[in-house]
Amino acid sequence: MEPTDTLEPRIRPLTDAERVHLRRLVHELQARREAARRGTWIALAAGVLVLWIVTLLASDAPAVWVTLFWLAAGAVLAVWLGRDLRRETAHLPAVTASIESALERGEAASSDIVARAYVEFEEVEDEGACWAFDLGDGRIVFIVGQEYYREDRFPSHDFSIVEPLDERGRSAHEWIEKRGDAAAPARVIAADVKWKLADGIPGHLGVIRAELDRLEDVLAERA
């Protein structure tokens, strides 16, 4: 496969609206982590309580033994659920810290795309969306991934992919800044054709030199 250039992003300050969005996101991540923790322990306590009551009513065993049994069982379940909870929420502190770092830095990388037309590739299995945008200067940029499925006002001929940068210059988050109205593709490349061209299709934000009406031929040559 031939080497692929990458669309060069524009580094710019975060806007006030973007700062508000990132602060709201930090709050949502913190709330999600706390809600997961609280919900897990409430569900565990309620479940053990119900089972304790049912066992007391259905069993002739002394109440103290029933109580000790469900206390021990609750402790085992707490360890098990606590391990799962930590695994499910382990990424949230790092994500939150990265976004807070981006707020401190106050800059974003903006990959600006103003296209005259684009081509849609049908999805193969669940690999995500794939679009090829003609920038009008002999270059075509590819937008690839499960974050880029069709939605309101996307794809269009005018949008940016915005990535706030943390203090180490890494992407802390990502969203599509939509400027144009939704536009129909010039054509749709079928999944079976895409599968044959897969080795020639660049990754996300990859750029190749080609004309849109000869895209399949160029991708076949690259494969």
Query: pLDDT (tens digit, 9 = 90+) per residue, 10-44?
Result: 999 999 999 999 999 999 988 888 877 788 788 88
Q: What stretch of H or E contains 80?
A: helix 63-89
The CA distance from 108 to 177, in Å, is 12
Span 205-219, mean pLDDT? Answer: 94
Tens-digit pLDDT profile for residues 110-160: 999 999 999 999 998 888 999 999 999 999 999 999 999 999 999 999 999
Domain ranges of the chain: 5-12+106-222, 18-101
Tens-digit pLDDT profile for residues 43-60: 888 888 888 888 888 888
127-155 as b/e, with b when 16 or more CB fall inside 10 Å?
A: eebbbbbbeeeeebbbbbeeebeeeeebb
Residue 106 predicted with pLDDT over 70? yes
When pLDDT is cut at 50, 70 and 90, the band that residue 3 belongs to is: low
DSSP string, 31-53: HHHHHHHHHHHHHHHHHHHHHHH
Tens-digit pLDDT profile for residues 77-87: 877 777 876 77
